[in-house]
């Protein structure tokens, strides 16, 4: 119960901050959508980093490291640092100059102008909204999975659970609803200013709490050296064993190691003593997992296939087409405001991801291999941090990371709908400034409702895998923005061809994969084919169709 | 300098594929897996690359173009709804 009270106090504080910043708002639509271009370098860094690091970073990275080991850091974190910086530099600054020069606020305004086509906005809008929704979903699902284990036992009569360890915990449907309502409340009143302040507060909270959580978990594991001995190990019979166990909240070395699985295939003597999660060698693991009340056989891959590692580098390209980042680029006060983000973003990623990956790896020696990946982080906190107040604060940190992503996305979708669909179609003069804000608010309510309902349906999906699908979708659109910015010959028809080809490939592979982890052949990520299809279509079709007019080009390219 | 920094960024994309560390499970300082340390250092190297890019490859001309005298007239002419 104490954990729940701490979480509720944190959420109340956040709500108060969001509502207070709303009182500072000027009441104009410009202020509501882009905070009157007043966001400086620090708020920009916190906003960009906070929005990019969602449940995916904390809950997802820990869970994926629990499944595949340390390779997860290279898969997403280190390559994201490099690709994000390249995109901020190559796309962001150039877009800022067009936003400054021509007054664009949303990415659809930019594309409509660059390709001299209204229809491209109506094609892009549903695709962008459709891709943002999984991004929102992972936040809501992640919140539910985080709160359930740490509140277990609080209401045993009201919330029974098939897993006796989690009986009485706040169920995901209720925590998801609460999180959505709180974010909605401060976005509703504070607009982009409220979101920016809430983002900054939450990013600082989740980074600080991340460090505190890490130090407490390390302490409970008996220090860093003992922690590194904990991950699951292969024995002389090819079995995967846990040498340690948690007894009354204390980590103790077991007299007889606990067998939790076997390496698939014949016994390889060279594997004796190998800790698969500390490297990236690909092995198949057979184990038993609980399905309802029964134990069933399961198999999964450990390590990272080299082709998967290579082709993951396309996924961070998604940053080039995230609507909220695009909007930040177009509306920043000055290009110099990005400098701090360029330098600090890869370092912030490292500060958050290294501890999460280590916790996930250590958890393999203490938690059953069939544990849902999204529950690994909170399960480690619940088992190892005995102080209830601290557990509550740490959970608040995880929720902060999740909510700091939701607010910017909600707001951005509202801005796009209002500007790119309603005002573009019906004309700005038909509405007062207040009415414009209300249009955005109603659309945001609609999106929140859809997201919440989908989160109930997709409650058991892997947060990391869902995020990878979402990022793959945005990445397949990134060749379009590169072409639009750097290649004069990119045509309107080429742009349509690129969007259609990339989307078609994405849909086919997404349906085939059932929104789960999926690779082709030796481990090639689906994003590779999506980016390839959209790039080939963009170049091929642009070369054989009529070039843009000189008048259009003059707006975007200096001679 | 711009070309050199572009070359460094391209080289880093290649260096990211550390296939020589794939099966290495040795620990550095007794607790950090080698593969993780390599990629954490990679993140630090990216931040250093960003510092050099800002110092030597910053697009000042683009900034001047965007903030030029003609901004106001262009902003007034633009056909979009919110500025």
Using one digit for the tens of pLDDT, what is the confidence trace for A3-29? Answer: 888 888 888 888 887 777 767 666 677
**Cα–Cα distance between A396 and A394 in angstroms, integer?**
5
Domains of chain A with bracketed CATH:
33-223+304-556 (1.20.1730.10), 232-302 (no CATH)
| A356: closest chain B residue by CA | B36
Please enumerate in sequence order all residues whose Cβ is within 8 A of that of A327, keeping only pairs 6 or more positions apart, or say none: A34, A105, A106, A107, A412, A415
What is the predicted pLDDT for the residue at A152?
A: 81
**Cα–Cα distance between B6 and A549 in angstroms, integer?**
31
Report strand pairing: B32-33 vs A233-234: unpaired
B15: distance to nearest CA of chain A, Å? 10
What is the predicted pLDDT for the residue at A349?
A: 92
Q: Which residue has the tokens 């006060």?
A: A333
Instruction: Report ipTM (2 d.p.).
Output: 0.87
Sign of CA dihedral A425, A427, A431, A434: positive
DSSP state of B29: T
Boundaries of domain holding B60: 2-77
Contact A181, A449 (CB under 8 A): no
Partner residues linked to A239 by β-bridges = A262
In a domain, B41, yes or no: yes
B1: distance to nearest CA of chain A, Å? 15
Report strand pairing: A233-234 vs A294-302: unpaired
Look at chain B and count its residues: 83
In a domain, B83, yes or no: no
Residues of A in contact with B47 (CB under 8 A): 81, 343-344, 346-347
**CB–CB contact A100 B46 (8 Å):** no
Please enumerate in sequence order all residues whose Cβ is within 8 A of that of A288, keeping only pairs 6 or more positions apart, or say none: A261, A295, A296, A297, A298, A370
Q: Residue A168 phi/psi, 5° resolution? A: 90, -5
Chain B contact for A287, CB < 8 A?
A: no
In a domain, B82, yes or no: no
**CB–CB contact B30 A361 (8 Å):** no
In a domain, B7, yes or no: yes
Would you state the structure tokens that stand for residue B25, as one six-digit string? Answer: 């499970």
**CB–CB contact A278 B23 (8 Å):** no
Residues of B in contact with A29 (CB under 8 A): 82
Q: Which one has a higher pLDDT value, A346 or B79? A: A346
Neighbours of A117 (CB within 10 A): 17
Q: Which of A82, A100, A306 sits opposite B13 (nearest CB)?
A: A82
**Number of A:B CB contacts under 8 A?**
156
Nearest Cα neighbor of A130 from A526, A510, A518, A402 is A510
Contact A477, A502 (CB under 8 A): yes
Determine if residue B44 is left, alpha or beta; phi over 0 gives left, psi from -120 to 50 gives alpha, anything else beta: alpha
**Cα–Cα distance between A229 and A368 in angstroms, integer?**
17
What is the predicted pLDDT for the residue at B81?
A: 42
Sign of CA dihedral A518, A521, A523, A528: negative
Nearest Cα neighbor of A264 from A240, A233, A296 is A240
**Cα–Cα distance between A143 and A161 in angstroms, integer?**
17
Q: Which of B29, B32, B47 sits opposite A346 (nearest CB)?
A: B47
**CA A10 from centre of chain:** 22
Question: Model confidence over A414-426: pLDDT tens digits?
Answer: 889 998 999 988 8
Contact A143, A176 (CB under 8 A): yes
In a domain, B16, yes or no: yes
- Exposure on the CB side of residue A314, measured as CA atoms within 13 A: 26
Chain B contact for A228, CB < 8 A?
A: yes
Contact A328, A48 (CB under 8 A): yes
Contact A325, A319 (CB under 8 A): yes
Distance of CA A312 to CAs A345, A469, A536, Å?
19, 12, 19
**Cα–Cα distance between A285 and A365 in angstroms, integer?**
14
In three state form, how does the secondary structure of A59-75 look?
HHHHHHHHHHCCHHHHH
**Cα–Cα distance between A275 and B26 in angstroms, integer?**
10
DSSP state of A265: S
Report strand pairing: A283-291 vs A250-263: antiparallel
Q: Which of A29, A103, A228 sits opposite B31 (nearest CB)?
A: A228
What is the predicted pLDDT for the residue at A25?
A: 64
Residues of chain A with pLDDT under 50: 36
State the DSSP H helix or E strand holding residue A283, giving kind and residue range, or none if neither.
Answer: strand A283-291
Number of domains in chain B: 1
Q: Which residue has the tokens 């939701």?
A: A406
**Cα–Cα distance between A276 and A23 in angstroms, integer?**
53
In a domain, B15, yes or no: yes
- Exposure on the CB side of residue A105, measured as CA atoms within 13 A: 28
What is the predicted pLDDT for the residue at A166?
A: 78
Look at chain A and count its residues: 559
**Cα–Cα distance between A252 and A544 in angstroms, integer?**
69
Report how many helices (DSSP H) and strands (DSSP E) chain B contains, helices first. Answer: 4, 2
Q: Which residue has the tokens 């007889």?
A: A256
Query: Does position B77 have pLDDT exceeding 70, yes or no?
Result: no
Torsion of CA A68, A70, A74, A78, to 10 degrees: 140
Residues 173-212 of A with CB under 8 A from B: none
Chain B contact for A224, CB < 8 A?
A: yes
Nearest Cα neighbor of A396 from A1, A3, A2 is A3
Q: Which residue has the tokens 């609080």?
A: A154
Residues of A in contact with B15 (CB under 8 A): none
- Exposure on the CB side of residue A208, measured as CA atoms within 13 A: 10
Contact A315, A69 (CB under 8 A): no
Q: Which residue has the tokens 């061809």?
A: A497
What is the predicted pLDDT for the residue at A548?
A: 93
Nearest Cα neighbor of A21 from A49, A43, A5, A41 is A43
Distance between first and last Cα of chain B: 36
């Amino acid at each position: 119960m104490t954990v729940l009270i701490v979480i509720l106090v944190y959420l109340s504080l956040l709500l108060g901050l969001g509502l207070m910043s709303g009182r500072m708002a000027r009441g104009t639509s410009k202020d509501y959508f882009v905070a009157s271009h007043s966001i400086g370098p620090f708020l920009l860094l916190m906003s960009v980093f906070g929005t990019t690091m969602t449940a995916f970073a904390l809950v997802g990275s820990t869970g994926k490291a629990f499944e595949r080991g340390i390779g997860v850091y290279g898969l997403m974190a280190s390559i994201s640092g490099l690709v994000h910086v390249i995109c901020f530099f190559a796309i962001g600054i150039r877009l800022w100059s067009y936003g400054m020069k021509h007054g664009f606020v949303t990415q659809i305004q930019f594309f409509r102008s660059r390709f001299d086509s209204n229809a491209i906005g109506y094609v892009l809008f549903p695709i962008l909204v459709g891709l943002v929704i999984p991004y929102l979903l992972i936040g809501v699902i992640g919140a539910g999975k985080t709160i359930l284990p740490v509140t277990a036992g609080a209401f045993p009569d009201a919330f029974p659970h098939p897993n006796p360890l989690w009986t009485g915990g706040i169920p995901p449907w209720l925590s998801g609803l609460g999180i959505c309502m709180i974010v909605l409340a401060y976005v509703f009143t504070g607009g982009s200013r409220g979101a920016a302040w809430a983002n900054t507060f939450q990013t600082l909270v989740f980074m600080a709490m991340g460090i505190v959580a890490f130090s407490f978990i390390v302490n409970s594991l008996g220090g860093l050296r003992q922690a590194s001995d904990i991950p699951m190990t292969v024995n002389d019979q090819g079995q995967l064993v846990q040498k340690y166990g948690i007894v009354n909240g204390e980590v103790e070395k077991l007299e007889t190691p606990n067998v939790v699985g076997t390496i698939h295939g014949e016994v390889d003597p060279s594997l004796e003593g190998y800790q698969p999660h500390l490297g990236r060698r690909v092995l198949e693991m057979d184990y038993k997992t609980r399905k309802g009340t029964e134990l069933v056989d399961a198999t999964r891959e450990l390590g990272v296939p080299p082709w998967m590692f290579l082709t993951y580098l396309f996924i961070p390209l998604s940053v080039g087409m995230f609507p909220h980042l695009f909007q930040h680029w177009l509306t920043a006060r000055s290009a110099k405001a990005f400098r701090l983000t360029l330098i600090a973003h890869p370092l912030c990623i490292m500060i958050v991801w290294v501890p999460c990956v280590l916790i996930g790896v250590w958890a393999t020696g203490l938690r059953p291999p069939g544990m849902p990946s999204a529950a690994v982080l909170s399960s480690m906190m619940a088992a190892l941090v005995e102080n209830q107040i601290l557990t509550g604060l740490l959970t608040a940190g995880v929720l902060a990371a999740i909510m700091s992503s939701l607010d910017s996305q909600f707001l951005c979708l509202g801005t796009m709908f209002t500007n790119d669909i309603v005002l573009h179609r019906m004309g700005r003069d038909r509405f007062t400034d207040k009415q414009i804000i209300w249009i955005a608010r109603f659309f945001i309510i609609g999106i929140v409702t859809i997201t919440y309902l989908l989160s109930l349906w997709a409650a058991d999906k892997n947060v990391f895998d869902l995020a990878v699908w979402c990022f793959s979708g945005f990445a397949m659109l990134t060749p379009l923005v590169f072409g639009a910015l750097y290649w004069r010959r990119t045509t309107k028809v080429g742009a349509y061809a690129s969007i259609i080809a990339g989307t078609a490939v994405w849909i086919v592979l997404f349906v085939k994969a059932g929104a789960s982890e999926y690779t082709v052949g030796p481990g090639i990520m689906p994003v590779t084919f999506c980016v390839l299809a959209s790039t080939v279509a963009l170049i091929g079709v642009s070369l054989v169709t009529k070039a843009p007019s000189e008048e259009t080009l003059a707006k975007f390219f200096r001679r | 300098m711009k070309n050199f920094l572009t070359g460094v960024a391209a080289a880093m994309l290649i260096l990211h594929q550390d296939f020589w560390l794939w099966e290495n499970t040795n620990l550095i300082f007794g607790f950090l897996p080698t593969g993780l340390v390599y990629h954490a250092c990679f993140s630090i190297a990216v931040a250093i690359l960003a510092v050099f890019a800002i110092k030597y490859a910053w697009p000042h001309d683009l900034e001047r173009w965007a903030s030029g005298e003609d901004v106001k007239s262009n902003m007034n002419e633009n056909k979009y709804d919110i500025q």
